[in-house]
Structure 1
């Protein structure tokens, strides 16, 4: 599948397109898309909460659930969360794309 890069407006395909899709899924709040209210993840609701172990586990679960539901080209194998300064959180994902192990990183602000 091919598409357009949301930042550069250039054509993208392969893993680049999947990463963009993953970023879109994880940063879209469930209920925010008109005509597709179920699309997205609950990750945006969790970012900005105190970084307790409970919140981190909820981010892991929300990430895995959303990607397994909305991105069939990617088979998730692992998730980690890094807290940064000024309310920025980075979600690191590892999984399989076309049989190859790949990694991605999505930074999100509270």
Structure 2
């Protein structure tokens, strides 16, 4: 099953961005308005993901987010994988924040 994909630099500023990385990766650095649901928790927490809008899914390099986007599309949601993940997000100089108060980085 093919998963729709977008480059990090092309994700709309107002997009619903779902970050499926682990807690330590999230804490190190993430997009300011992203929503954090680790991949392992996604099925149990899917009701937190809006059904009425496109969901852009991101992880570190794009593998976990591709799996998450494929599953979301399978259950009838509109999900797009962010190609290259947060590494590409950082490379595109998109904004990032950290939970630690330190300079954000992609863990």
TM-score (normalised: structure 2): 0.29
TM-score (normalised: structure 1): 0.28
Q: Which has the larger radius of gyration?
A: 1
Structure number with the higher strand fraction is 1
Question: Which is bigger in relative contact order (C-alpha 8 A, separation at least 6)?
Answer: 2
